[in-house]
A and B are shown apart, each in its own frame.
Chain A
């Protein structure tokens, strides 16, 4: 199992796809079943796509986390882009400030067990999601 945080820089479609391949390997080695791996990767894909779309570049960090007897992997999507003005609005289905489908963040929330979002306008956004095994 990976004991350290693994970080991927996301800046374009190429780095996005390379990161997804590595994240798939990490998720599989962690012991998720096939369905969980797909959920985890889909959430990672949504978050990475948001980084490219709204912040041009940022990073995706993967690390193992524990809570009581639960073990899981956390994805932290971090960017220093424009930030989100109204988080509750951004979490509404079909809302988008970037001309997209507006289902990325709510979609990632649906796929994962835990979801936290912190954002400061002008400084950036951090999204953390966890899927328990």
Chain B
């Protein structure tokens, strides 16, 4: 139902392209592995796919794995922050994992409020911190 709230161009995009971001659900966790540049079209598609998965499946947690990205600008970060807020409204808890040290340094230099974000060193660390058994 919510898809009709998207703009005409967004709808055309979601109908035409598959997301280049790999998403795998495991142990109630949706692990999104981001290894492609976050262009506006990729982010729009990603937003659509995440919300669709949350609507259709019982997903308690989302891990956003950024280990494949060595740069993230303010636009990309804010878009991810928006997706996290949307996921929260859908009842899912988000964790950002695998941030590159250079990305962390840049985000801190931007003076962005990062303390409200849930972060972990990597996917394994996130499972451990949330006490999710994987075996």
Contacts and interface: CB of A to CB of B under 8 A. Distances in A.
Contacts of B105: 35, 38-39
Interface stretch (A64-72, A82-90, A103-111, A116-124): A103-111
Contact of B70 (A37, A110, A111): A37
Interface stretch (B54-62, B72-80, B85-93): B72-80
Contacts of A34: 70, 100-102
B24 to A, nearest CB: 25
Interface string A38-55: 110110011001000000
B12 to A, nearest CB: 16
A101 B77 CA distance: 11
Give chain A's interface residue range (CB within 8 Å of chain B): 20 to 34
Most buried by A among B41, B109, B111: B109
Given A13-B39, A13-B40, A39-B109, A107 B102 contact: no
A133 to B, nearest CB: 15
Given A17-B37, A107-B110, A42 B101 contact: no
Contacts of B103: 38, 42
Interface of B: 37, 39-41, 70-75, 78, 100-103, 105-106, 109-111
* Closest 3 pairs (CB-CB, A-B): A38-B102, A45-B73, A41-B71
Interface of A: 13, 17, 20, 24, 34-39, 41-42, 45-46, 49, 100-101, 103-104, 107, 110-111
